[in-house]
Chains A and B, each alone.
Chain A
Amino acid sequence: MLTILFDGIAYGMLLFILAVGLAVTMGLMNFINLAHGAFAMVGGYITVLLMQRAGVPFLLCLPIAFVGTALLGAALERTLYRPLYKNPHLDQVLFSIGLVFMAVAAVDYFVGSTQQIMQLPEWLKGRTEIGSGAWALGMGHYRLFIIVVCAALTLALQYILSYTRFGSRLRASVDDQRVAKGMGINVNMVFLSTFAVGSGLAGLGGALGAEVLGLDPQFPLKFMVYFLIVVAVGGTTSITGPLLAALLLGVADVAGKYYIPKMGAFIVYSLMIAILIWRPHGLFSRK
């Protein structure tokens, strides 16, 4: 049972890293970006291809995936996303679906539609068992690694948001864009860097998750719903909300699939709809 909880938490942490960029950009710019998963996929493919074709070690691949996707995110933000911030939501939905379709077909074309297999380094394979009986805790080393990395990232993000100058600028821009602009904050620059970091985190999440979630060209479509659930349920006003939502989602999904495999993803979706009907602005929003 603890094993399931542990796997659920690892999964939830991963989802949080994948989705936190989406949460912040959505709160900041009120932009419904369905293409967030595409950035995660790019990160995943960068890692897998570098490891397979160039033999780059796994630990080095992770920062490369982060930087690569962040640069891509910055470029796209400046050229494509920025003109659309003021457009109605329908436009944004259409635009980002279009991006997803293009990403899916392009990856399919260049890399092929088969699922990519990730070769983990030796020290990340294997499991440690603690305890016995019903309370046995089996920890896959890789999952432990994911939890550690994601927890460190979460703390770093929380620190940046709460204690640095950039963090306070960002929070000011989220709260009220116009006033922030009036106070001399370069809101465009804040947007750009946030978007880039958010996409970079998604890329890092995709790289970390390639082994756990599976990586194929359909990735952005398959996990789009999960990211959106995290954001919609967690709310966009803080990062604690999405964190709790992601953990809840991860545990519910893993436990649901383990105990009632017949129901499949059913539980997660029903839970989401119930929560959203009950609290349309998310579980942890301030409104």
Chain B
Amino acid sequence: MNTQTTLLQASRWKPWEPVLWLLAFAAPLVLPSHALIINEIAIVALFAVSLDLVLGYTGIVSLGHAAFFGMGAYTAALFAKHIHPDPLVGMAVAVGTATVLGALCSFTVMRGTDLTRLMVTLGIGLILMELANKLDWLTGGADGLQGVMMGPVLGQFEFDLYGRTAAFYSLTVLLLCFLLARRLVHSPLGGTLKAIRDNRLRASAIGIPVTARIAVGYTVAAAMAGAAGALLAQTTGFASLDVFEFHRSADVMLILVVGGTGWLYGGVMGAIVFKLLQDMLSAITPQYWTFWLGLFLVVLVMVGRERLMRPWTWFSKGGAR
């Protein structure tokens, strides 16, 4: 088998993939009472997939991915409130602003060590949060942006109280973005991103324009995070400072790591596990569930990210790692 066929095979649709998506789209119909959480899972999954493009495929440790999420959320909410209530137009505008922001910020992650990048991404998130906090005439400050009325999707489907429209809307956006991301990571461009992640120096030695490629990857990821934020604002009709919070960036990183980085379904799987776990744990201990989250993180790292996902390697010495 030559290289070309191997590569083509890797990017081909596996039989279980359409099944998974069909199941996802059937879920709001089968479990109408859980449509709200399905909506949340879809949003978080989209956010995690976007972080995967940065972290898993380009190898940039970012703690400020919530910046783009929040940017999308606030843009969508403000657009709906002041200009036009149509969700699709709002989505396009939100993705647009997040893309611009991502393109600007991509210059900050080109240089330096992991620590520098960590600090810069974190700092951008904090700056945007401060901005949203202080510009209270526009964003409502710490009270959040209230009174956002969304129009029906495509002029047909009203957002209802049970979240069924919201779930389908979010799932559709997730699917579209996922297809885009899938196409991207299997394209030659995606290949170069992975090369940069694995060894930057060698990547530049074989003629890959490292900075330009990182800029592209980062911008696309920012756009998707913006879409996820817009979904949140549109389906809940609300945007608050919470969207920029540090824990949101940390959570999404955890989600991605639980599901597995460098694998697009990792974000989706992680989102499902994380949201269900959060729902369950916070029902038991509403205030202290972050403790269990923290414990889980510590155990996850101590055992090894790879091994926890492969239980059969637990008892063999020096297994997967």
Contact = CB atoms under 8 A, between A and B. Distances in A.
B190 to A, nearest CB: 20
B191 to A, nearest CB: 21
Chain A, interface residues (CB within 8 Å), range: 35 or more
Interface residues of B, number: 45
B290 A265 contact: no
A109 B289 CA distance: 11
Given A32-B118, A98-B295, A263-B134, A80 B123 contact: no
B158 interface: no
A244 to B, nearest CB: 17
A84 B300 CA distance: 12
A26 B294 contact: no
B4 interface: no
A281 B305 CA distance: 29
A273 B301 contact: no
Given A232-B116, A281-B113, A221 B301 contact: no
Contacts, number: 132
A101 B291 contact: yes
Contacts of A99: 294, 298
Interface string B126-165: 1100110110000000000000000000000000000000
Interface string B231-255: 0000000000000001100100110
A85 B61 CA distance: 17
B118 A265 contact: no
B250 A276 contact: no
A270 B120 CA distance: 9
A97 B249 CA distance: 11
Contacts of A98: 293-298, 300-301
A91 interface: yes
A87 B126 contact: no
B94 interface: no
Contact of B301 (A91, A231, A262, A264): A91
Interface of A: 26, 32, 80, 83-84, 87, 89-95, 97-106, 108-109, 221, 225, 228-229, 231-232, 262-266, 269-270, 272-273, 276-277, 280-281
Nearest 6 interchain pairs by C-beta = A98-B297, A280-B112, A101-B294, A105-B291, A102-B294, A95-B301
Interface of B: 55, 61, 63, 107-108, 111-116, 118-120, 122-124, 126-127, 130-131, 133-134, 246-247, 250, 253-254, 257, 261, 287-291, 293-298, 300-302, 305
Given A102-B290, A281-B113, 6 more contacts: A80-B298, A84-B301, A91-B301, A98-B298, A98-B300, A228-B119
